Structure 1
Amino acid sequence: MTPEFVIGFARQSIELALTLALPMLMVGLTVGIFVSILQAATQIQEMTLTFVPKIVSMFLALLFAFPWIMEKLITFTRDIFLNLPNYIR
């Protein structure tokens, strides 16, 4: 294994992790902004009002994105196992 291969493999792994986290992070950001605007408009400063909707929405986003996430992870893992003999050389 060359240093270029290891760096490329690490880059590909990090890109996959960021891609898989993107749906939940975007939903959490959107809900967080919406709740912040709602809090600023009503002047309600309750901490659970920001925390609970974000957690619930991120869980729902995970639930809807789970098939896509699993497909990406299975494809990545299958590619690793199929190319394992090439990696060992």
Structure 2
Amino acid sequence: MKVTGIILIVVGILAMAYNGLAAPSFEYPQTGDAAYDTGYAIGLFAIGIVGLLLLIIGIVLFRKAERRERQRQSKYYDYEAERRNQRTY
């Protein structure tokens, strides 16, 4: 889950970077077709929103994996401490 989170974070950042790099080209439309220009703007908006959602989902997955790993480690250490306390010498 940690690797999936990292991958989604990277893909989200790349999508948002692409959106930022492609957005200035929208200011100077290459065609005079209004429908094409509108579709291009909607596509850029959609790529930006999807990139943001992927970034958020990636961060949530990464944090969840980190929390799960910390809980697993704390259970292990608590179990070892409990075993040490039960020994009688």
TM class, shorter-chain normalised? Answer: 0.3 to 0.5
Structure label with greater radius of gyration: 2
Instruction: Please report the TM-score for the alignment, with normalisation by the length of structure 1.
Output: 0.41
Q: TM-score, normalised by structure 2?
A: 0.41
RCO higher in structure (CA 8 A, sep ≥6): 2
